[in-house]
Amino acid sequence: MHFDLLCFSHLRWNFVFQRPNHLMARAARDRRVFYVEEPVVAGTAQPRLSAELRDGVTVLTPRLPEGVDATSQVEILRSLIDAWTRDHAIHRPVLWYYTPMALPWTAHIPAAAVVYDCMDHLAGFRGAPAGLLEQEARLIARADLLFTGGAQLHELKRQDHQDAHCFPSSVDAAHFGTARLSLEEPSDQAGLRHPRIGYAGVIDERIDLGLLDALAVAEPDWSIVLLGPVAKIDVADLPARPSIHALGMKAYGDLPAYLAGWDVAMMPFAHNEATAYISPTKTPEYLAAGLPVASTSIRDVVQPYGVEGLVEIGDGPEGFVAACRRALAADRSRLWQRADGFLATRSWDRTWDAIDRLVAAAVRRRGSDSVAAPVTRRPTQAVPVALSPSMSPIATGGIVSRSLED
């Protein structure tokens, strides 16, 4: 079934490559997909949408002037998206939400179906905006389908929606599986001694910095490698130990080369409100790369990965260090065999196929078979959208958390 898809997200497409990127890139194989980011305030005299084609997806970024009235935000953003849908003949698209904060300026759009892909419990994250829970309740009431990124989140959200489906973190096993081959060592990691214990992902309030420090103290001869941006915490708060190496954000395509040089992958998550419902995407990615894994007892890691013997679990400084030591001693050949059997059913392709069938059924239920016809896709240039002279430009509001990669 052919339909255009309008996706509204709190995550920048060019941030960490994660669930929205995987799913929307696959959706774009068969239809036009427009990925609308949160507004950017700065560097423009008039509100406009900039557009860029990435991975087959047209990424739209509202750009707004500085120093404007936030109370007009909904009106301006509505005008921008209305002009875009009109100019690009987007008729009754599927509206796909990662952020409920987009609802006030998009709820008026006639939709073939409405999807809420709830990948995180956003209200538990640092910096969550006022009104998030209220907007989420409105979105859930309007949605035809609700997807969740993990089992614990599904248990929470299925109470609110009769058509809620759990789609845990999946993996591009072929991509990460190249880490099992002989890859050229990245220059910024090549000189680090073994054993290497690594983490790849956003470093924010979900990371237990005390555990990193305890690991560095307990095993001073290990190299602790951190890949990813630091967000919502001060870089100065990272433990200043000679064995801790924060190498910064890396491109998705470069990750296997880094992981290939590790001996253990870790997930030193804190136990707090921000981690209560996470289902870390990195768990299957580490395993696909052939790495033994150590983690704290995040519930969606314990079940199924800990129960299946695929991840070593430990809490507190002593428990986490012990889990890392057990992972380091693991038999990799046996781990690969068990992990590969488990991951065979967890590909992003299979996940998208299942999701796509549910969305098509929702469209049919709405009686919207006359949605957009197939369109030959071409790169879209940045297009300024003129506003009525009576409209005043406004500043962005909403959730500006861009560090929700698990």
- What are the tens digits of pLDDT across the range 288-314? 999 999 999 999 999 999 999 999 999
- State the average pLDDT over residues 79-104: 96
CB burial class (10 A; 0-12, 13-18, 19+) of residue 349?
middle
- State the average pLDDT over residues 232-244: 93
- Write out pLDDT tens, residues 186-212: 999 999 999 999 999 999 999 999 999
What length is written for the chain? 406
Sorted by where each begins, the domain ranges of the chain are 5-170+347-365, 173-343
377 Cβ contact partners less than 8 Å away, ≥ 6 residues apart: 28, 32, 53, 56
The residue with tokens 């921008």 is 80
99 with 38: CB under 8 angstroms? yes
Least confident of 160-169, 219-228, 345-354, 379-388: 379-388
Task: With H, G, I as helix, E, B as strand and everything else as coil, classify residue 374.
Answer: coil
CATH superfamily of 173-343: Glycogen Phosphorylase B; (3.40.50.2000)
For the entire predicted model, the pTM comes to 0.85
pLDDT at position 126: 62
- State the average pLDDT over residues 142-151: 93
Domains 5-170+347-365 and 173-343 share a fold: yes
If one counts every other C-beta atom within 10 angstroms of the C-beta of residue 45, the result is 8
CATH class belonging to 5-170+347-365:
alpha beta
- Closest to 172 in 3D by CA, of 7, 352, 401, 376: 352
